[in-house]
Chains A and B, each alone.
Chain A
């Protein structure tokens, strides 16, 4: 009896399997996305995904909100190791080397089919592609990308006798303006700082603005060699430290990222460096007229890029990879890129997105949005290496040690370089 029963069950299972495989014309995709800024980011991604699925009934996309960038890479790598990776995901552009090392992703050149696709690949801003390619291949497609800019309080500028329409153009002016903008009460306690460059959590990112302006890069394209002990890097760190210790125009110690926009609104600081991702936040909450400008220059103007890219995962069928590519092509097309950029403040990653009527209208009413795009011309790749998180932690620790006066900039960076060399030598 039991044999009969078993045979029956097997037959049933086989029938069910056959049914599933014939009806499984629709390609199923799982898509992990992070949300790093408040506002309408999550809603917008879901709306875009739904619109795509409506237009393409042969594809179903399961869009999974996976938390912060850190949560998303953690969840994705756990899924990869468990053998059930998503088919596509938005992850920090700098995690590219980690994903390659885990053998988790495919290059877009291996998925695209024709010249049209190649033209699509070539249409993104080169500054964003720096973090998306290595060894001549493209592994990421820019999506929620940003860059740091300078915000300034026009009222505070006027009060200090400065031209409210002119931000500091270079490092010296930043100090000079900062001194005029720093206000002290009768006891000598500061009530308004000149400038605020936040340094908690990931100080390397804004620090990379300073190093770029001093015309030095922090890591090579192959991701296996860092430059932390270069004299120009040390000079940049010395400048950052001097802002609080020597010039006394910035709050000493580690400065919190999250509280930075609030400190700006409260008049605690007259200028701040922070991401363009805060643009909508500042526009809605600043109780005064504010300006947005490029970061001040030293040898040259400069800033890093940041944010997340689309990746396609290896452990998927050919049909799934094709469908993923098609979805990414659609969501990064001008219309959708413009919609995404307007809703969040992220920089639309393709020049043609800025030519759409919606984007033109938006920029017309809010010209500050253009600054980030114009700065892209001078932007460089965000620090990315193999074992990226470990290397950036080493640099972060060194920066924090110097900012808090535990070590002088040269000692801190020399030690960081030695530690980074020990880890990266295995990849050369």
Chain B
């Protein structure tokens, strides 16, 4: 009897969280998968079952492949660069230096600012002719560069904004991890005569691995999730050269109102992200030293 009451009690405690989780995560996810096998309902025309037609369309959708390629390149560049920058900045502000508090704040500031607002500022930086970057370049006799209007440059330009935004955020995690490394390790290494580089490579970096795992999973998610600046800066242009997966899904769902195809795209992105996250856990987990 008491066991039964305990059991009911336990489920009752779980209920609020479960209801929210199901209502806002699991049910929509399942609904999305189901919707991807139907056509888009429009006014008088209800949705009909179309099998894998949406997926076949996706395979032949040149825009999807362009966007996927963009996003892959975007992730491959922004993730390692922002993590490397984050470690470098954390090491720098972890040491003894004057005005440490100010430098830490300066590094963290981009994280606090809303991306929409900063994207507008970056747009001014990039403006050809009278933008900040071109004004500085003009001092050295540089010609105007249309950073956001050139398909070769535009993805790089939005990557810089993402790295600038992310590095400071990741730095905070590394800083916390660095401060939990016992100073006795450094003293022991100093007695052994290890160089600073050896100490970083053999002691600090391995001890930071749990943080790196956490940060890299976050970075992968953000590489798909953070698209606010695309809305403000380029709207995916020119000719989809700066469009990312989530932006394309938004466009399909809320500009084209093709909700079925948007569901299909969502399912594919979900699948890619799941595979990546599982892979990351399995691959890096072996090399992570938990204490």
Contacts and interface: CB of A to CB of B under 8 A. Distances in A.
A101 B258 CA distance: 13
Nearest to A405: B151
A32 to B, nearest CB: 15
Interface in B27-63: 42-44, 63
Interface in A87-137: 98, 101-104
Interface residues of B, number: 31
Contacts of A251: 128-129, 144, 146, 149
Interface stretch (B93-101, B163-171, B232-240): B232-240
B138 interface: yes
Interface stretch (A44-52, A168-176, A252-260): A252-260
Interface of B: 42-44, 63, 123, 127-130, 138, 141-144, 146, 148-151, 234-235, 237-240, 251, 254-258
Contact of A255 (B44, B149, B240): B149
A262 B149 contact: no
Contact of B42 (A102, A200, A268, A398): A102
Contact of B127 (A199, A259, A396, A398): A259
Contacts of A103: 43-44
A368 interface: no
6 contacts: A200-B148, A201-B235, A252-B149, A254-B148, A254-B237, A401-B239
Interface stretch (A35-43, A209-217, A386-394): A386-394
Given A189-B138, A253-B146, A104 B239 contact: no
Is the contact region of chain A dominated by helix, strand, or loop, or is it mixed?
loop
Contacts of B258: 390
- From B234, B254, B258, name the one whose CB has the most chain A CB atoms within 10 angstroms: B254
- From B42, B237, B258, name the one whose CB has the most chain A CB atoms within 10 angstroms: B237
Contacts of A403: 238
Nearest to A265: B130
B239 A400 contact: yes
Interface of A: 70, 74, 77, 98, 101-104, 187-190, 199-201, 251-256, 258-259, 262-263, 266, 268, 387, 389-390, 393, 396-398, 400-401, 403-404, 406
A404 B256 contact: no
Contact of B151 (A74, A199, A404): A404
Contacts of B235: 200-201
B43 A254 contact: no
A396 B63 CA distance: 13
A187 B143 contact: yes
Contacts of A259: 123, 127
B141 A187 contact: yes
A189 B144 CA distance: 7
Given A98-B257, A254-B237, A393-B251, A404 B149 contact: yes
B44 A253 contact: no
Contact of A70 (B123, B138, B255): B255
Contact of A101 (B42, B151, B240): B42
A266 B129 contact: yes
A268 B43 contact: no
Given A254-B148, A401-B238, 7 more contacts: A189-B142, A200-B148, A251-B146, A253-B150, A256-B148, A266-B130, A403-B238
Contact of A262 (B43, B44, B130): B130
Contact of B149 (A77, A256, A396): A256
B255 A393 contact: yes
